Amino acid sequence: MNSSDPAVRFSVLIQRFFMDYLIEQRNVSPRTVASYRDTFRLLLNFAEKHVGKPPHKLRLADFNVGLILDFLNHLEVMRHNAIRSRNARLAAVRSFAHYAALQEPSALPVLQRVLAIPMKRFDRPMVGFLSREEMQCILAAPDVDSWCGQRDQVMLATLYNTGARVSELTAMRAKDVSLDRGCCVLLHGKGRKERTLPLWNSTAKLIRRWLRQINPDPQQWLFPNRAGGQMTRSGVTDRLKLAVAAASARCPQLKTRHVSPHVVRHATAMHMLQGGVDLSLIALWLGHESPATTHMYIEADLAMKQRALNAIQPLQYKQRRFRPRSDILAFLDRL
């Protein structure tokens, strides 16, 4: 096939976008590569049905604003993706459009319209978080008489201690934990950013006991699944749901709560804030890009707002009752 064929150039352009641009030049994280890969899998499969061409026959001209808008609508309506997911897919498409515009200037008019597609705005709900009592009930819920229960107990304790994202929790290996002087754990965060967080003595004790139950190899996943492999995001969520269901016997209010690993992360941040920890330190603890992201916890803490209100006493002044003048025209003349 002729390399000057537009379909060939488009296919090669996508491969170069991943291999040369994302991996070689930008050195993005494997998670980013996987996210962009999944976006283009969905897009190319959608384009095959929408344009009527198999992926290897698509041209850059087919990569137009109409196709992308229909694809984004398909994600929300047919696949029931949240707006955040829709925007993440659009970010991947935009990145490719920027790269393609530099490689194929002749396609700039088409790509500029794609780049002009805006991110969709969405409502930001109030942060939901667990009380300390609810969190303690969940941590005590796993059945420690079983291997999975022991893993769940130490896994959830570590999740609450560190406020880690699910991806950071499942990526922990035995080598990432230091249980000598100054117990701590190394988290591999978003964008290849790492951070080290201290461990409570209780958490360190659980991890120390857990490491005796699994393969002590430094490369071993700290919280493996039953087969010894890496736990998935859904696996962690399912185990947390089991713990919440068991904890509901002691905390009936948990029956009406939607508790996800991210809610546990919110609980960590909120409890630190309520304990008097500075907001900038909480941002570093959670691995937030900007401390402004952490302000949502202040918005959610009504008790903190009430304390602030109580610290400001209302001004004392005597109210006077208004008495209208009898001569309204004279009053208006004096204004």
| Catalytic option among 57, 190, 195, 205 | 190
- Indicate if 19 and 165 belong to the same structural domain: no
pLDDT (tens digit per residue) in 19-62: 999 999 999 888 889 999 999 999 999 999 999 999 989 999 99
| Catalytic option among 21, 99, 160, 297 | 297
Residue 190 annotated as catalytic: yes
Higher pLDDT residue, 118 or 125? 118
| Catalytic option among 16, 50, 205, 262 | 262
Q: Is the pLDDT of residue 10 over 60?
A: yes
- Indicate if 105 and 152 belong to the same structural domain: no
- Indicate if 150 and 270 belong to the same structural domain: yes
Work out the pLDDT band at 221, boundaries 50, 70, 90: very high
- Indicate if 178 and 76 belong to the same structural domain: no
| Catalytic option among 50, 59, 173, 288 | 288
DSSP per position, 142-209:
S-TTSHHHHHHHHHHHHHHHHT--HHHHHT-BGGGEE-SSS-EEEEE-GGG-EEEEE--HHHHHHHHH
Write the CATH number for 303: 1.10.443.10
Whether residue 197 lies inside any domain: the answer is yes
Whether residue 284 lies inside any domain: the answer is yes
Average pLDDT over residues 115-119: 96
Contact call for residues 92 and 39 (beta carbons, < 8 A): yes
- Indicate if 199 and 95 belong to the same structural domain: no
- Indicate if 211 and 260 belong to the same structural domain: yes
- With a CB cutoff of 8 Å and minimum separation 6, the contacts of 142 are 148, 149, 150, 152, 153, 156, 242, 243, 246
- Indicate if 197 and 287 belong to the same structural domain: yes
- Indicate if 16 and 64 belong to the same structural domain: yes
Whether residue 182 lies inside any domain: the answer is yes
135 vs 293: CA distance, rounded Å = 23
Whether residue 318 lies inside any domain: the answer is no
- Indicate if 247 and 307 belong to the same structural domain: yes
- Indicate if 137 and 250 belong to the same structural domain: yes
Residue 251 — φ and ψ, nearest 5°? Answer: -125, 85
Residue 50 annotated as catalytic: no
Identify the domain containing residue 51 by its residue range: 6-115
Whether residue 76 lies inside any domain: the answer is yes
Whether residue 323 lies inside any domain: the answer is no
Helix (H) or strand (E) holding 233: helix 233-247
- Indicate if 58 and 138 belong to the same structural domain: no
**Number of domains into which the chain is organized:** 2
Whether residue 287 lies inside any domain: the answer is yes
Beta bridge partners of 230: 224
Higher pLDDT residue, 121 or 65? 65
Short-list 178, 216, 173, 181, CA closest to 196: 178
Residue 288 annotated as catalytic: yes
Assessment of whether the complete model's pTM goes beyond 0.85: no
DSSP per position, 99-118:
HHHHH-GGGHHHHHHHHTPP
| Catalytic option among 86, 89, 165, 266 | 165
Whether residue 292 lies inside any domain: the answer is yes
Contact call for residues 301 and 270 (beta carbons, < 8 A): yes
Pick the last residue of a domain from 83, 115, 147: 115
pLDDT (tens digit per residue) in 226-245: 999 999 999 999 999 999 99
Least confident window among 28-32, 106-110, 218-222: 28-32
Reported as half-sphere exposure (CB side, CA atoms, 13 A), residue 140 has a value of 11
- Indicate if 211 and 292 belong to the same structural domain: yes
